[in-house]
Amino acid sequence: MAVFVGIPCPGCGMTRATLAALHGDFAASFHFHPLGMIIVPLFAAYALGHAVSYVRHGVSQVDTIVSGKWIDRFLILLLVSMIGVWIARFFGAFGGPAPV
């Protein structure tokens, strides 16, 4: 998105935040994207769950196990948080918009 319209996307800085966290620099990780230390481990756990389920059963059964109203509400909350952080960064919060 940033390449086409010059506006950073809601996930801009997520890769740099992940790399900074993996190097132990949590302040820099938070600066690159405040939700990086929450979203990346959740995504990694979800992907690992799919992989393990596929190896064990020949088909992934994670979606049938991880379902229900609580997960839907959590994902909606996560989406709203991403958009909220994205908007807040335009007004200077969390170090301003991520450099593109």
* pLDDT one-digit tens code per residue, 52-90: 888 888 877 776 666 667 777 888 899 999 999 999 988
Interaxial angle between packed helices 69-90 and 36-57, expressed in degrees from 0 to 180 and rounded to the nearest 10: 150
Residue-level pLDDT at 16: 92
**Cα distance between residue 82 and residue 71, in whole Å:** 16
**Cα distance between residue 92 and residue 96, in whole Å:** 4
- Domains of the chain: which residue ranges? 2-93
Q: What is the pTM of this model?
A: 0.75
How long is the chain?
100
Q: How confident is the model at residue 1 (pLDDT cuts 50, 70, 90)?
A: low
